[in-house]
Structure 1
Amino acid sequence: MPSEIERKFLVTADTWRDGSPGVRISQGYLSQDPERTVRVRIGGKNAWLTIKGQTQGITRAEYEYAIPVAEARELLEMCLPSVIDKTRHKVPHADHIWEIDVFHGANEGLIVAEVELADASISPILPPWVGAEVSDDSRYFNSCLAAEPFTTW
């Protein structure tokens, strides 16, 4: 079973910025059941449909499929209660590529760094621009941010 092992941190400084524009992402949820989410995402000129299982620690099942962008746009119209708008930057640090999401719209002001790991026992070297770990705080799951945006906390 394909899985995602991911740790998530709040970003506390802008020293990660290198001037690159990143990739603007729109993503919405067709299902937000805690045991399974179904997400549609458009990033740049590509689109995906992703099914994720329930989180067990920092691991969960993940199935992802490329889909036509036109179909993704139609599916985003079905997503409730809202669509996430963010810019993703990929930043290398030590032996990992960190994905930094700068949120816009209803989640403006939130910046989160995620690192995917090959094994849950791996402890990556943390960059100086990350702060508190929020891997276990469901408020920071994108599916939860679609339902309860950061600006409403």
Structure 2
Amino acid sequence: MMFDKLKYHLKSTKPLDIIIIAVLLLGSFLPHVVYGMQLSQVDENARIIATVSISGEEVYSVELSEETPHEEFTLNPSENQYNIIEVDGTRIRNKEDNSPDQLGVRRGWISQPGETAVVLPHELIIEIETRSPDGEKIDQEDDIIIPM
């Protein structure tokens, strides 16, 4: 019975179907390739900065490096909301909060430029970005051009 269905699907599959599936499968890896290219273009002298924003307003910023001390602090986006943010050297995370789905907590540690952790009910975003040694933000989106 199962083999009959398999034979039917194999007979009804056309060569173009296989080509389309292969192209879509390869295309699904394109974001990973672009992200890898962005990481490889980060200057050795660039500073990696983590910023924490609530409702679009930056409330905390720290450089992530081996010399960055371990730190935990609590942010209260509103009266009945809290987020415990933990910084540990080259990484940062939303350690604990009282949001219903816990997506920000489950995201775990982030440390690479371009990574984010988001807590939508609290409107809290932790973002990793690179800055030049003099403190100017390096816009990584302009570095890569993908022809269509």
What TM-score range do you get, normalising by the shorter chain? under 0.3
**Higher relative contact order structure (alpha carbons within 8 Å, sequence separation ≥ 6):** 1
Higher strand share: 1
Q: TM-score, normalised by structure 2?
A: 0.26
Higher helix share: 2
Q: TM-score, normalised by structure 1?
A: 0.25
| Larger Rg over CA atoms | 2
